[in-house]
Amino acid sequence: MSTDNLRRGSLEIIDSKKIISRGSLYVAQARLTAMFKWIWMILAIAVANPVLYLLSIGVGVGAFIDKNAGPAGIDGVKYLTFLAPALLATSAIQGAIDESAFPTLEGFNWWKNFFGMNATPISGNQIATGVFLASFVRVVGTVVIYWFVMLAFGALESSKAWLAIPTAVMAGVAFGSITQAIAAQIKDDNIFFVIFNRFIVMPLFLFSGTFYPLSSMPVYLHWIGWISPLWHATELGRYLTYGHAMTRDMAIMHFAILLSLLVVGVTLSRRLFTKRLAK
Amino acid sequence: MSTSLVTARGLTKKFGDFVAVDAIDFDVAKGESFGLLGPNGAGKSTTMRIVGATSQRTSGDLTILGMDPEKFGPQIRAHLGVVPQQDNLDMNLSVSENLYIYGRYFGLSRKYLKTKIEELLEFAQLEEKRDAKVESLSGGMKRRLTIARGLVSEPEILMLDEPTTGLDPQARHILWDRLFRLKEQGVTLIITTHFMDEAEQLCDRLIVMDKGKIMAEGSPALLIKEYSTKEVLEIRFGSERNSSMANQLREMCERIEELPDRILLYHEDGEVLLEQIYSAGLHPKTSLVRRSSLEDVFLRLTGRTLVD
Please check the confidence at residue A48 and state whether its pLDDT lies above 70.
yes
pLDDT bucket at B1, cuts 50 / 70 / 90: very low
Is residue A222 in a domain? yes
> Which residues in chain B are contacts of A36 at CB distance < 8 A?
none
pLDDT band (50, 70, 90) for residue B291: very high
| Per-residue confidence (pLDDT) for residue B244, from 0 to 100 | 79
Between residues B254 and A90, which one has the greater pLDDT? A90
Residue A33: predicted pLDDT:
96
User: How many CB contacts within 8 angstroms connect chain A with chain B?
Assistant: 121
- In the predicted model, is pLDDT for residue A258 greater than 90? yes
Percentage of chain B with pLDDT > 70?
98
**Domains of chain A: total:** 1
Contact B154 A8 (CB under 8 A): yes
A11 touches chain B (CB under 8 A): yes
Lowest mean pLDDT among A194-208, A234-248, B217-231: A194-208
Under 8 Å between Cβ of B190 and B157: yes
Question: pLDDT value at position A1?
Answer: 42
More confident residue, A187 or B218: B218
CB A209 within 8 A of CB A231: yes
pLDDT of residue A270: 97
pLDDT (average), residues B258-284: 90
Return the ∠ at Cα A229 (arms to A227 and A232), rounded to 5°.
95
Tell me how close the Cα of B169 comes to any Cα of chain A, in angstroms.
Answer: 24
A125: contact with B, CB 8 A cutoff: no
Chain A residues with CB under 8 Å of B93 CB are 30, 33-34
pLDDT tens column, B177-198 = 888 888 888 899 999 988 888 8
Enumerate residues 15 to 74 of chain A having a beta carbon within 8 A of any beta carbon in chain B: 15-16, 18-20, 22-23, 26-27, 29-30, 33-34, 37
What's the whole-number mean pLDDT along residues B152-166? 92
Any A CB within 8 A of B154 CB: yes
pLDDT digits (tens, 9 = 90+) for B168-181: 888 888 888 888 88
Across chain A, mean pLDDT equals 92
Nearest neighbour of B77 by CB, restricted to A26, A120, A279: A120
| pLDDT for B94 beyond 90 | yes
Task: Please compute the mean of the pLDDT values over residues B143-150 and round it to a whole number.
Answer: 94
Question: Which CATH class name applies to B229-291?
Answer: alpha beta
A176: pLDDT strictly greater than 90: yes
Domain ranges of chain B: 4-219, 229-291
Model confidence at B32: pLDDT above 70 = yes
Confidence of residue A11 (pLDDT cuts 50, 70, 90): confident
- Write out pLDDT tens, residues B115-135: 999 999 998 899 999 999 999
Residue B278 pLDDT > 80: yes
Which pLDDT value is given to residue A253? 95
For residue A204, is pLDDT > 60? yes
Q: How far is CA B273 from the centre of its chain?
A: 33
CA distance A240 to A89: 13
For residue B220, give Cα distances in angstroms to A19, B39, B169, B293, B305: 39, 17, 21, 8, 17
Question: Choosing among B87, B104, B116, B123, which should be mutated to test the A contact, i.e. which has the most A CBs within 10 A?
Answer: B104
- What are the tens digits of pLDDT across the range B41-86? 899 999 999 999 999 999 999 999 999 999 999 999 999 999 999 9
Nearest to B185 among A4, A37, A115 (CB): A4
- Between residues A180 and B260, which one has the greater pLDDT? A180
Q: What percent of chain A has pLDDT over 90?
A: 73
What are the beta bridge partners of residue B231? B267, B291
Stretch A125-138: mean pLDDT: 98
Whether A210 and chain B come into contact, CB under 8 Å, resolves to no
Print the domain residue range for A131.
Answer: 27-277
Residue A1 lies in a domain: no
Separation between Cα atoms, residue A63 and residue B48, nearest integer Å: 66
pLDDT score recorded for residue B95: 97
Model confidence at A83, pLDDT cuts 50, 70, 90, reads very high
Q: Would you call B88 and A118 a contact, using CB atoms and an 8 Å cutoff?
A: no
pLDDT at A127: 98
Residue A9, pLDDT above cutoff 70: yes
For residue B308, the model assigns a pLDDT of 55
What distance in Å separates the CA atoms of residue B171 and residue B195, rounded to the nearest whole number? 15
Residues of chain B in contact with residue A27, where contact means CB-CB under 8 angstroms, are 105
Residue A178 lies in a domain: yes
Cβ within 8 Å, pair B122-A117: no
From 3.30.930.10, 3.40.50.300, 3.30.2020.10, 3.30.420.40, which CATH number describes the B4-219 domain? 3.40.50.300
pLDDT, average across residues A167-180: 96
> DSSP per residue over B197-214, as a string?
HHHHHH-SEEEEEETTEE
Does A3 fall in a domain?
no
Quickly state the pLDDT bin for B307 (edges 50, 70, 90): low
* Set of chain A residues whose Cβ sits within 8 Å of the Cβ of B55: 278-279
A2 touches chain B (CB under 8 A): no
Alpha-carbon distance of A151 to A161, in angstroms, equals 9
Weakest-pLDDT range from A84-88, A109-113, B10-14, B298-302: B298-302
Exposed/middle/buried for residue B191 (C-beta within 10 Å: 0-12, 13-18, 19+): buried
What average pLDDT score do residues A246-261 get? 94
Instruction: Please enumerate in sequence order all residues whose Cβ is within 8 A of that of B95, keeping only pairs 6 or more positions apart, or say none.
Output: B121, B126, B129, B130, B131, B132, B134, B137, B145
CA distance A88 to chain B (A): 29
Confidence of residue A3 (pLDDT cuts 50, 70, 90): very low
Chain segment A53-74, per-residue pLDDT in tens: 999 999 999 999 999 888 788 8
